[in-house]
Amino acid sequence: MPSPDTPHAADFRPSPNHGERLRPISSLILHYTGMPTAAAALALLTSAESQVSSHYFVDEDGTILQLVPEARRAWHAGRSFWADEEDMNSASIGIEIVHPGHDDPRPFPDRQIEAVAALGRDICARCAIVPQRVLAHSDIAIGRKVDPGEFFPWKTLAELGVGHYVAPAPIAGSAALEPGASGEPVRELQRALADYGYRSDVSGAYDAASAGAVAAFQRHFRPGLIDGRADSSTIATLRALAAGIGA
């Protein structure tokens, strides 16, 4: 039995689903389990047939289990992209947070988020992961994944020392860039999203992929309205985030 990589893990519950890392660790990816019970999620993440896993599993009461050694590549991200990296499983540590998902978007319990924060602080310190590399699965799998959800408490997590956060700019009901738009403002938006790390082609044409990237951004950073339209609040929040990197 391997011993946990962190003092925060109560136990090691080994999953057979892992392989060799092909990249250095740069990112921490947060997920919700999206299943009715913790037991069902843990069974899935530790069964060979499922072909899925994560490094850590955080129950609603704050209990942390390690499933895969950090040195190994766990299978939580699937097809993914961030900042020109396509194999995010190789480049990340994955945490599955017990929550039923969008079918039941209830608040994450405080003690669970405190546990995620303690674990995240420890991982980010040991692996030199910068705050803007603490990401949602939805950030790196645009159009495919929506977890851990717009109801995930990113602000609280940042206050507890994990992740990059700025208060979202107020939603003003202003005009917006939206599908069908084109030109330099669209190009600027696409470049800003790409510079931050999102998969975003700088084409100058606001297509379905652009709307998907904007929606992914909103789900994490401007959760009050997720509509794939880049209104002034969305653009201001993105600018503020970009300006805050390394600050």
Footprint of Zn ion (CB under 5 A): 31, 137, 147
| Sign of torsion over alpha carbons 168, 171, 175, 177 | positive
Cβ distance to Zn ion smaller for residue 31 or 73: 31
CB of 79 to Zn ion, least distance (A): 12
- CB of 56: closest distance to Zn ion in angstroms? 13
Q: Please name the amino acid found at residue 190.
A: Q
Q: Which two tokens stand for residue 66?
A: 């390690």
Nearer to Zn ion, 30 or 166 (CB): 30
Q: Which amino acid is at 147?
A: D
Nearest-approach distance from CB 149 to Zn ion, in angstroms: 10
Query: Which residue among the candidates 85, 96, 159, 188 is catalytic per the annotation?
Result: 96
Our answer to whether residue 188 is catalytic in this structure is: no
Residue closer to Zn ion, measured from CB, 64 or 186: 64
Q: Where are the beta strands (DSSP E) in the chain?
A: 11-12, 18-20, 27-32, 56-58, 64-66, 72-74, 92-97, 134-136, 176-177, 230-231
Bridge-based pairing of strands 27-32 and 176-177 is unpaired
Positions marked active-site: 96
